[in-house]
Structure 1
Amino acid sequence: MRSVQLLAATALAIALSVTSAAAQKKYDIGATDTEIKIGQTVPFSGPAYAGIGKTQAAYMKMINDQGGINGRKLNLIQYDDAYSPPKAVEQVRKLVEGDEVLFTFQIIGTPSNAAVQKYLNAKKVPQLLASTGASRFSDPQNAPWTIAFNPNYQSEGRIYAKYILANHPNAKIGIFYQNDDLGRDYITGLKSGLGDKAASMIVAEVSYELTDPTVDSQIVKLKAAGVDLLYDASTPKFAAQAIRKVADLDWHPVHILDINASPVSATLKPAGLDISKGIISTNYGKDPADPQWKDDPGVKAYFAFMDKYYPEGDKLNTVNTYGYSTAELLIQVLKQCGDNLTRENLMKQVTSLNKFVPSLALPGMSITTGPNDYRINKQMQMMKFNGERWELFGPIIEDTGPAG
């Protein structure tokens, strides 16, 4: 009789423990005890961003080799969208409805993210760490299931305004901008940061279209307006044209270049390294080509990762450090989720980061988000081009403007 009671008690204890364990685990489609399905579109056949997706895939392999996240392997499903919005829509639908991923990760580019944002929010599928800085992707009121990784263009604009007010308070500012959401967001941020002084300091604004063969006439107009600080909210091709025309005119304004147009290989080399000297921009991550980081633990770990998991990749290309940093942040979010792998909890965790310090962040920088503040990177440091590479200078500047 006693043995029967003992067996019954043991059976009850096991049942209770199983029930308790089951109660602690919560899953949505795309997550199980053994796997987390992640969906991504990458322009493998488009512009030079393929390295981002390749680095991220290599990072996931490293994590799986280490045992995964809380015992679950990461299944990163990647499709080529060729940097085409219609293709991105088609592939994201396939990821959500066919592959049944838990969430999308790091869809690359403003056009592709814009094309799928409404669909993903209607489906309540997290659009995590989107690769864009347009303000519509950091707007919890209107798109609660979308959060971007890149610095918000308006935040970056306000950071430039802080720098200008502190260092060039009497500047005559001329704005050169791409006539789309990117350019307009940079203008909004600058004017917001300058406040009451915007009207008197900004003396000219000229735009260009993506279809324009040249921007020479725009640069001529800005010089003629008496501009002595050029605020350049453009992309690499047009920034390179602007730099060359400024040099042709023997014009020497303070030249501030947005982060999108700051890559040396894409903008400054085509323009001419010698005539790019003195240009100012901003950054939030360590450049692996900068000798000051050669003994940095984070950079050393990145180099070791590249050697083992992506040996064919260019270790000094910041496209690859970007892929590495975004994957690292995703892993942090998934760790915070624990055994509650629901879409709702994913959004809760990514919007409750508390002073997380990425391994490639500039010293003194960390990531803090909130349910009403979806900005991942809102701290930056100014940098100046010395003719060969960018050199950081000045303090960390944080955007304290509106969050949404």
Structure 2
Amino acid sequence: MTYLQRMLVGATLWVAAGTGAAIAAGSYDSGATDSVIKLGQTMPYSGPASAYSAIGRAEAAYFKMLNDKGGINGRKVELLSMDDAYSPAKTVEQVRRLAESDEVLAMFSILGTGPNIAVQKYLNLKKIPQLFPFSGASRWNDAAHFPWSTGSQPTYRTEGKIYAKWILANKPGARIAVITPAEEAGRDYLAGFKEGLGEHVDQIVSEAVYESTDPTVDSQIVKFKAAGADVLFNECTPKFAAQVIKKAAELGWKPQIILPAVSNSVGSVLKPAGLENAVGIVTGAYLKDPGDPRWADDPGMQQWRSWMKTYNAGADPADIFNVSGYTFAQMMELVLRRSGDDLTRANLMKQAESLDGVELPMLLPGIKLQMSPDQRTPIRQLQMARFNGTSWELFGDVLNE
């Protein structure tokens, strides 16, 4: 069964006895029994955002590793990962199937802002946890309206503000161009970016959007060069982010390019764009870059490399999306571990909210999970990094908005 079809990954998490609200007889909602815990997910295994599918494969591989180590009191955790081709309509179809036919306990790490928005109201009405979506939209951090949803990574608004402030501090007279996708993720990034610029927002000399179905973004880059921009916020998904970098190089245009954290993969973005064309690009990071030599002796990186060789050997070790999947799977592992034998949806949410002050091996030093009942975004910090032709070099302090 291929990834373009329905993918079923059996997995079990090995845990030590109990830091959760465990009860001896076990308490279960649909999707959990004495022997099984079912999680659902959609991923773009096909379509314009298929580079992100590395995340789903990494999550599957992580759960396979945990399965080989034993289990949660003998329970098998099954991750049912479905292809939605980054199409919200397909996401709705697949999520309904996962909820109503497969009866999963929770949704985990659905990829994309549009796909997650398409199912958020449905999942909240059904009281099915929507945990750790791979999206930084601000709407995940809204416990009052969406009590069954959480965020995962720094919000796009926060990230946009950080980049704007970096520009003002380091290139105060910049003439700025911005390209964003025509969806909520792009609007969030742009809103945060403009808020960060404040009274300097008139330094944006050109803006453009693109649709995920567009073949290229070449015309937008030609427009930016003609506008005389010398800084470019390249807020695109991987395929288009690579196109932007490559087209700028073809035009002989050399602005300071800023990449968002969702598209700073060396393997999926910078290599297709040409590593020589990416030198000097800056980004925000919250994960350790596998290509950065500073982590060569880091225990977390060594553990990750060992896992990659054994469980994810066919994946590109330069692709940070494999670090993303590994880290998000660890977050889900913690929630299940802390839930103990109380495998109800309400307890899953309670345990997710308790992930405060938690360090994970592939998060950058100084960055910890920070969750509470009112704060649903676990990762809220970034550190700036610059590409040196081989890897990202960190600089400066860990930043909040």
TM over 0.5: yes
1:158 to 156, 161, 185: 161
* Residue 178 (structure 1) aligns with: 181
Deviations 1:62-100 (A, max 9, x none): 223333235533222333334343333222222222222
Q: In the alignment, is the contact (CA less than 8 A) between 1:232 and 1:239 conserved in 2? A: yes
**Structure label with greater radius of gyration:** 1
Q: Which runs of 5+ in 1 are unaligned?
A: 1-20, 400-404
Find the aligned partners of 2:251 and 2:81 in 1 and give their Cα distance: 47
Find the aligned partners of 1:203 and 1:45 in 2 and give their Cα distance: 35
Q: Which moved more, 1:238-247 or 1:116-125?
A: 238-247
Is 1:256 matched up with 2:258?
yes
Deviations 1:221-256 (A, max 9, x none): 334444332222222333333324433444333221
* Residue 38 (structure 1) aligns with: 39
2:330 to 307, 322, 328: 328
* Residue 402 (structure 1) aligns with: none
Quickly say closer, same or farther: Cα 1:161–1:101, change in 2 above 3 A. Answer: same
Q: Which moved more, 1:180-189 or 1:111-120?
A: 111-120
Is 1:51 matched up with 2:54?
yes
Q: In the alignment, is the contact (CA less than 8 A) between 1:156 and 1:378 conserved in 2? A: no
Quickly say closer, same or farther: Cα 1:391–1:73, change in 2 above 3 A. Answer: same
Quickly say closer, same or farther: Cα 1:97–1:356, change in 2 above 3 A. Answer: same
2:194 to 191, 196, 205: 191
* Residue 99 (structure 2) aligns with: 96
* Residue 339 (structure 2) aligns with: 337
Quickly say closer, same or farther: Cα 1:315–1:220, change in 2 above 3 A. Answer: closer
Instruction: Give the alignment's Cα RMSD to 1 decimal.
Output: 2.5
* Residue 140 (structure 1) aligns with: 143
Write the letter of the residue equivalent to 2:341.
Answer: D
Find the aligned partners of 2:283 and 2:23 in 1 and give their Cα distance: 51
* Residue 77 (structure 2) aligns with: 74
Q: In the alignment, is the contact (CA less than 8 A) between 1:286 and 1:360 conserved in 2? A: yes
Shift of 1:123: 0.2
Find the aligned partners of 2:114 and 2:211 in 1 and give their Cα distance: 15
* Residue 287 (structure 1) aligns with: 289
Write the letter of the residue equivalent to 1:379.
Answer: Q
Q: In the alignment, is the contact (CA less than 8 A) between 2:289 and 2:391 conserved in 1? A: no
Is 1:28 matched up with 2:29?
yes
Quickly say closer, same or farther: Cα 1:366–1:201, change in 2 above 3 A. Answer: same
Shift of 1:217: 3.9
Q: In the alignment, is the contact (CA less than 8 A) between 2:246 and 2:277 conserved in 1? A: yes
1:397 to 386, 396, 399: 399
* Residue 313 (structure 2) aligns with: 311
Find the aligned partners of 1:193 and 1:154 in 2 and give their Cα distance: 9
User: TM-score, length-normalised on structure 1?
Assistant: 0.85
Quickly say closer, same or farther: Cα 1:176–1:62, change in 2 above 3 A. Answer: closer
Write the letter of the residue equivalent to 2:142.
Answer: D
Is 1:117 matched up with 2:138?
no
Write the letter of the residue equivalent to 1:218.
Answer: Q
Q: In the alignment, is the contact (CA less than 8 A) between 2:267 and 2:320 conserved in 1? A: no
Structure number with higher helix proportion: 1
The sequence identity of aligned pairs, in percent, is 51
Deviations 1:152-207 (A, max 9, x none): 21121122123223323333322222222222111111122233x24343343233
SS of corresponding position for 1:207: strand
Write the letter of the residue equivalent to 2:61.
Answer: A
Find the aligned partners of 2:99 and 2:213 in 1 and give their Cα distance: 34
* Residue 131 (structure 1) aligns with: 134
Shift of 1:331: 0.8
Deviations 1:247-296 (A, max 9, x none): 34443332212223322333323333222211111211112222221211
Quickly say closer, same or farther: Cα 1:279–1:69, change in 2 above 3 A. Answer: same
Find the aligned partners of 2:149 and 2:32 in 1 and give their Cα distance: 19
Write the letter of the residue equivalent to 2:32.
Answer: A
Q: Which runs of 5+ in 2 are unaligned?
A: 1-21
Q: How many residues end up aligned between the 2 structures?
A: 378
Find the aligned partners of 1:272 and 1:278 in 2 and give their Cα distance: 13
Shift of 1:368: 0.4
Quickly say closer, same or farther: Cα 1:198–1:69, change in 2 above 3 A. Answer: farther
Write the letter of the residue equivalent to 2:364.
Answer: L
After superposing on structure 2, the runs of 4+ consecutive aligned residues of structure 1 that deviate more than 6 Å are none
Q: In the alignment, is the contact (CA less than 8 A) between 2:178 and 2:206 conserved in 1? A: yes
Q: In the alignment, is the contact (CA less than 8 A) between 2:23 and 2:342 conserved in 1? A: no
Q: In the alignment, is the contact (CA less than 8 A) between 1:37 and 1:77 conserved in 2? A: yes
Find the aligned partners of 2:67 and 2:246 in 1 and give their Cα distance: 47
Deviations 1:316-375 (A, max 9, x none): 332222211111111111222223222112112212321111110111111101222221
Find the aligned partners of 2:302 and 2:68 in 1 and give their Cα distance: 19
Find the aligned partners of 2:348 and 2:217 in 1 and give their Cα distance: 44
Write the letter of the residue equivalent to 2:279.
Answer: K
Write the letter of the residue equivalent to 2:187.
Answer: R
* Residue 7 (structure 1) aligns with: none
